[in-house]
Structure 1
Amino acid sequence: MIRRAQPWLGTLVEITVADALPDEAVQRAISLAFAEVALVHRLMSFHAADSDVARLNRAWPGDMLTVDPHTWRVLELAQRVADQSEQIFNIACAPRLVAWDCLPAPQPEVPAYRPGLTVLRCEAGLRVRKAVPGWVDLGGIAKGYAVDLALAALGDAGIASACVNAGGDLRAIGPLAWPVRLRAPRDPGRAGAVLELRDEALATSASYFSARRHEGRDVSALVDGRDGSALGAAAGSVSVRAASCAVADALTKVVLASGDAAHPALQAFAATALII
């Protein structure tokens, strides 16, 4: 078994390969997988001025931009999850996160945040229309998508059994059962549950590391898109199983905000949830 880790997407991405292949072949496959993670980082970073996300945030209402196919797919999936969750999941939460000092302001003038606002609309030909003023952040879905791309790269390189873990967003391929320890939300140093992952994805969201006080109020890096409120420690921890890590990543926020482990959005994407 060979394991490598690199810092990407604001976390540590770990790739483990269990195939009995020559080390050179495995190392090459892992390097190809990390290249896919790096691509997502470059395209979807809120911070990098040349990313697709930054270009969209700088655009004026009515502007039409052509984006990378990966960015378009993530934006389109984000819109589908928003529709299925009645806007609980909404990538237009960035102004809230900037106001709470969870993200740096990319421009001096911060656009007003309005709950339920659809800032972008995906159109044919990899084009995206800026509908209204606003900023988007793909931090709630891009990490899962990067995991999916990394696993695809490993598979294309001939790897049959592997697991990619991006800060708690995981996906495994192959027959092995990979044990996953889920943190207890009120005592993150302890395991609240232990699951096995086999040929599927699992993502977990909780505010135990990001929750804090800001200007007299409780905030976190997780936002309920319906009203713009922060999801604090009381929301607990949510883990979602799905075929795709991008889907699992996004749906954790839906379940965390709603408190509903049987939310209809889960059924729409053939996913299941566990609340701790």
Structure 2
Amino acid sequence: MRPLLGTFVEVHAEGLGAVHAVEQAWQAIELAQRDWSVQDASSELSRLNATHGLCVPAQRHTLRLLRLACALMRRSGGAFDITVGGLLTEAGVLPEQGQNWLPRGHVDDIEIGPGWVRLHRPLRLTLDGVAKGFAVDLAVSALRRAGAVAGWVNAGGDVRAFGEAVVPMHRREADGRLVPIGALSQAAVATSMVQAATVSKDAQSVPDARWPARILAPHGQAPTPGVWTVLARRAWRADALTKVAAVCPEPGRPALIQQLGGCLIEGAAIGAAQAAPAHRRPA
């Protein structure tokens, strides 16, 4: 276990050379922290945000992550949105870093080329809704390349298991209870919490440290308070789809999550839902 990605990350590997495999996984996770932190003004993501209208060189993993995020923005109709960094800056969630960003943008504002990215408007991209899951996937790939036959990676509740590893899963509910939801095998799961509105005596919103995530819905909507858990093949998708679950309307929510490649866990055991998503894509 190590403190990374703003949380505690656990890596487990089985097989000959497991120690070497775990070290390779740590290197992959440290790469993610270095390149995709919007809190760090020197990160690759921050350098991209600081320049619009120009082609900014980017590493292949950054390009892959941005392509996946943009594709999900389109398919979800904007329910998943990586362009809301300006709004989060206005709310004091992100540091200002001396820039003037638009509150939010559109997926068409992001152009991705061979080895570069260009922002057509002054946007502040934030990958906080997907980068942790993608880092878990990178770590799992590193474990496999290094010879691990089974294992799992857990980044603050974004968990992926592979091989014959079976991971008992619990979900922390809004009241703090830990509730068993099954066992994870050859899949990924992620959970996000949305805080119910809390108003103080002077009618100001009061943040609650138990609900660290800040999820923004499309314009004119509000996220639904609650605990949202999604099962998927890859951790990046499970991570991102918890945000879609939180902001999409109640009618059709499970169907939309399934259409986007995941399965919404609503009080059922993971094992009962493991084969559900019929529209999963290789990514």
The answer to whether the 8 A contact 1:57-1:134 is kept is yes
* 2:169 paired with 1:173: no
Change beyond 3 A, Cα 1:225–1:110? farther
2:150 alignment partner in structure 1: 161
Change beyond 3 A, Cα 1:11–1:65? same
* 2:57 paired with 1:92: no
Taking the aligned partners of 1:244 and 1:176, their CA distance within structure 2 comes to 15
Unaligned runs of 5+ in 2: 268-283
Letter in 1 for 2:175: D
| Counterparts of residues 39-58 of structure 1 (less than 5 Å) | 39-58=31-50
The secondary structure found in structure 2 opposite 1:91 is coil
* 2:145 paired with 1:149: no
Cα RMSD, aligned residues only: 2.4
Shift of 1:180: 0.6
Change beyond 3 A, Cα 1:228–1:127? farther
| Counterparts of residues 32-43 of structure 1 (less than 5 Å) | 32-43=24-35
Change beyond 3 A, Cα 1:179–1:211? farther
Q: TM-score, normalised by structure 2?
A: 0.83
The answer to whether the 8 A contact 1:81-1:265 is kept is no
The answer to whether the 8 A contact 2:86-2:124 is kept is yes
Change beyond 3 A, Cα 1:263–1:235? farther
Deviations 1:89-110 (A, max 9, x none): 1111112222222221122x44
Q: TM-score, normalised by structure 1?
A: 0.85
Taking the aligned partners of 1:85 and 1:142, their CA distance within structure 2 comes to 18
Unaligned runs of 5+ in 1: none
Is the deviation greater in 222-231 or in 78-87? 222-231
* 2:230 paired with 1:240: yes
| Counterparts of residues 1-276 of structure 1 (less than 5 Å) | 5-17=1-13, 19=14, 21=16, 25-60=17-52, 62-107=53-98, 109-114=99-104, 117-118=106-107, 120-184=109-173, 186-188=174-176, 190-207=177-194, 216-217=204-205, 221-227=213-219, 231=223, 235-258=225-248, 259=250, 260-269=252-261, 271-275=262-266
The answer to whether the 8 A contact 2:15-2:150 is kept is no
Question: Once the two structures are aligned, what percentage of the paired residues are identical?
Answer: 32
Which structure has more strand as a fraction of its residues? 1
